[in-house]
A and B are shown apart, each in its own frame.
Chain A
Amino acid sequence: MKRIYIFKRFERFWHWSQAALIITMGASGFEVHGTYELLGYETAQEVHTTAAWMLICLWLFAIFWHFTTGEWRQYIPTTDKLVAMMRYYMSGIFTNAPHPFKPTQLSKHNPLQRLAYLFVQVIINPTIWVSGLLYLYYAQWGAWGLSWLNLADVAFVHLVAAFMMVMFLIAHIYLATTGHTPTAHIKAMITGYDEEPENSDEE
Chain B
Amino acid sequence: MRNSKQKRADWLSVMVIGLFFSVLAASASAASDGTKTSSSTADHTRFEELKGPFVDGPAVTKACLKCHTEASKQIHKTKHWNWDVVNPATGRKLGKKNIVNNFCGSVVSNEPRCTSCHIGFGWKDENFDFASQENVDCLVCHDSTAKYRKLPAGAGHPAYQDTEWPPQSGKFIKPIDLAEVAQNVSATNRRNCGMCHFLGGGGNAVKHGDLDVSMINPGPYLDVHMSPEKLNFTCSKCHGGDNHLVQGSRYALEAKDTKGIDIPGRTDGSRASCESCHGMTPHPETANVKLNDHTDTLACPTCHIPEFARGGYATKMWWDWSTAGKLTPEGKPVKINDEKGHQIYNGMKGDFRWGENVMPEYRWFDGTSRYTLFGDEVTGDEVVSINNYGGDPNDPNSRIWPFKIMRGKQPFDKELKTLAVVHTWGPGDESAYWTGYDWDKALEAGMKKAGATYSGKMGFVETEMAWPITHMVAPKEDAVGCDECHSQNSRLKDVPGLYIPGRDRFGWLDTAAWILAALTLLGVLGHGGLRYIMRRRED
- Chain A interface residues toward B at CB < 8 A: 32-35, 37, 40-42, 45-46, 49, 89, 93-96, 138-139, 150-152, 155-156, 159-160, 163, 166-167, 170-171, 174-175, 177-178
Contact = CB atoms under 8 A, between A and B. Distances in A.
A155 to B, nearest CB: 6
Given A45-B482, A96-B535, A160-B509, A174 B527 contact: yes
Interface stretch (B13-21, B213-221, B285-293): B285-293
Interface in B478-501: 481-483, 486-488, 498-499, 501
Given A45-B482, A166-B517, A155 B501 contact: yes
A10 B517 CA distance: 31
Contacts of A95: 534, 538
B509 A34 contact: no
A94 B533 CA distance: 8
Interface string B522-533: 001101101100
- 8 closest A-B pairs by beta carbon, nearest first, are A174-B524, A152-B499, A163-B513, A41-B483, A42-B482, A139-B293, A94-B534, A34-B502
30 contacts: A32-B502, A33-B502, A34-B504, A40-B482, A41-B483, A41-B502, A45-B482, A49-B290, A89-B527, A94-B530, A94-B534, A94-B535, A95-B538, A96-B535, A96-B538, A138-B293, A139-B292, A139-B296, A155-B501, A155-B504, A159-B510, A160-B509, A163-B513, A166-B517, A167-B516, A167-B517, A170-B517, A170-B524, A171-B520, A174-B528
B370 interface: no
A42 B531 CA distance: 44
Given A34-B488, A156-B506, A163 B516 contact: yes
Nearest to A136: B290
A33 B524 contact: no
A45 B290 contact: yes
A34 B505 contact: yes
A94 B534 CA distance: 6
A42 B499 contact: no
B417 interface: no
A32 B290 CA distance: 13
Nearest to A156: B506
A32 B501 contact: yes
Contacts of B501: 32-34, 45, 155
Nearest to B484: A41
A155 B534 contact: no
Nearest to A163: B513
Given A34-B486, A152-B504, A42 B517 contact: no
Contacts of B510: 35, 159
B326 interface: no
B26 interface: no
Q: Which of B483, B516, B521, B530 has the most CB of A within 10 A?
A: B483
Nearest to A174: B524
Nearest to B539: A96
Given A151-B498, A159-B513, 12 more contacts: A33-B502, A34-B486, A34-B501, A40-B482, A42-B483, A96-B535, A139-B293, A159-B509, A160-B509, A160-B513, A174-B525, A178-B531
A163 to B, nearest CB: 4
Interface of B: 288, 290, 292-293, 296, 481-483, 486-488, 498-499, 501-506, 509-510, 513, 516-517, 520-521, 524-525, 527-528, 530-531, 534-535, 538
Contacts of B538: 95-96
Nearest to A89: B527
A38 to B, nearest CB: 11
A174 B530 CA distance: 13
Nearest to B525: A174
A35 B527 CA distance: 28
B74 to A, nearest CB: 42
Contacts of B482: 40-42, 45
Contacts of B535: 94, 96
Nearest to B281: A139
B62 to A, nearest CB: 57
Contacts of A49: 290
Given A42-B483, A163-B516, A170 B505 contact: no
A49 B289 CA distance: 10
Contacts of A33: 501-502, 505
A41 B504 contact: no
B296 A170 contact: no
A96 B488 CA distance: 50
A103 B296 CA distance: 55
Nearest to A166: B517
Contacts of B517: 163, 166-167, 170
B396 to A, nearest CB: 9
A175 B528 CA distance: 9
Contact of A170 (B290, B502, B520): B520
B506 A34 contact: no
Contacts of A155: 499, 501, 504
Contacts of B516: 163, 167
Nearest to A141: B296
A36 to B, nearest CB: 10
A174 to B, nearest CB: 4
Contacts of A167: 516-517, 520
A46 B531 contact: no
A42 B481 contact: yes
B528 A41 contact: no
